[in-house]
Amino acid sequence: MNVLFVVCGEGLGHTSRCLHTARHLEKHGFTCHFAAYDTSFRFLERQGWQRLHRTPREVTLTGNDGFFTLTGTLNDSKGVPVNMYRSYRMVQDLIDAEQIDLVIADTMYAAVAAARRKGIPTIFITNQNTFCTLSGGSESAWKALGKMVSSFFTLPDAIVVPDFTPPDTVSGYNLTIPDYINSKVRFVGPMLAIDREAYPVRQETVFASFGGEPFKVPLYHRLAGIAQRRDDLCFSVFSNADGLPPGSANFTPHGFVPDLYPHLAAAKVTILHGGLTTLHESLFFEKPVVVVIDPHHPEQGNNARKIEDMGAGVIVRGDRATEDALEAAIDTASDFRSPVMRRLFEHQDGRAGTLRVIEEIL
């Protein structure tokens, strides 16, 4: 059976979870193709995925001085209708050319419509249909977007949430499941492929990753400033964006690495931006988290609220993330004992759960 994954390239969490799932499906006899763009395409290329196709982006996320901006995103996304039509047509062409039997779209909306038009079964992967920000701005716009996304949920055959079942759902504050789509929604668990025994857990570094967007680079410079005055903290930071601070004795910048897990396993604290996949990975290794929240981003704050509820980390608002505030949060998180979630990860494998959903809808 031929499966086409169409993945959102805003950050690498969508791509990473789909790649883990595709590898699992291939072990069970499926042939998986990917359609991706920009950093997602380059990531899959570096991972050596052979059946890889370029697709247009549907929306462009932009920011300024380390933060997401809705106005800038809207300005840079004026071509969304054209891009979605191009994406729609390309998916249809790929369905024909590669004889696709199933489309799995991770937060890529036009792909679902294209597959429906072709009469191909579709699965939509998402962990959000409720949008709000810590800043409290543009709430009417976010509510309107939430209604649009919820109405879109009627199109796919199944909606896969790559997260734990309630009440342990990390993205729970970002989800509202109306009764009319409740029968389609499946909480399958995190889509990870980590052999716990392959990564010895240590408590050595401060691990930091804010995603690959260039507007996040100023945050890395603040961490470099902390490293200059705290030789007891050893920072290991990761970004594919240009402009990272230079390395030093206790500050090591990394671009692309084929495997983040050895670095995560070696951390005593992780500093993350609140994306679901990296939060799951940090919880897997039982690392306390400093979640640096973009106050204008419509997802991160809600994920961070759940992390705080769990006693797994602390929140720092990005617009208040001075060097002093970040340093204090690192010291606070260092004293946390992250919750033990081994059994949850063992019993809720999102890759296996997605395979069950495929078998169900087919």
Q: Which of 70-79, 85-94, 104-113, 199-208 is the least confident region?
A: 70-79
| Mean pLDDT of the residues in the chain | 89
| Residue 183 clears pLDDT 90, i.e. is over it | yes
pLDDT of residue 61: 55
The verdict on whether omega for the bond into residue 167 sits within 30 degrees of 0, i.e. cis, is: yes
H or E segment to which residue 112 belongs: helix 109-118
Q: What is the mean pLDDT of residues 281-294?
A: 94
pLDDT in tens, 321-345: 999 999 999 999 999 988 899 999 9
pLDDT in tens, 108-164: 999 999 999 999 999 999 998 887 766 565 566 667 667 777 778 889 999 999 999
Rounded to whole angstroms, the Cα distance separating 200 from 211 reads: 24
Q: Which of 47-56, 133-142, 258-267 is the least confident region?
A: 133-142
Q: Which of 13-17, 75-79, 253-257 is the least confident region?
A: 75-79
pLDDT cut 70: percent of the chain above it: 89
- Reported in sequence order, the residue ranges of 120-245 that DSSP labels E, i.e. its strands, are 122-125, 158-161, 185-187, 205-209, 235-238
Rounded to whole angstroms, the Cα distance separating 262 from 280 reads: 15
Distance of CA 71 to the CA centre of its chain: 22
Domains and CATH numbers, the chain: 2-194+347-361 (3.40.50.2000), 196-343 (3.40.50.2000)
pTM over 0.85: yes
Q: What is the DSSP string of 317-357?
A: EGGG--HHHHHHHHHHHHT--PPP-HHHHHH--HHHHHHHH
Rounded to whole angstroms, the Cα distance separating 324 from 332 reads: 12
| Residue 45 clears pLDDT 80, i.e. is over it | yes
In 3-state terms, what secondary structure has residue 279? helix
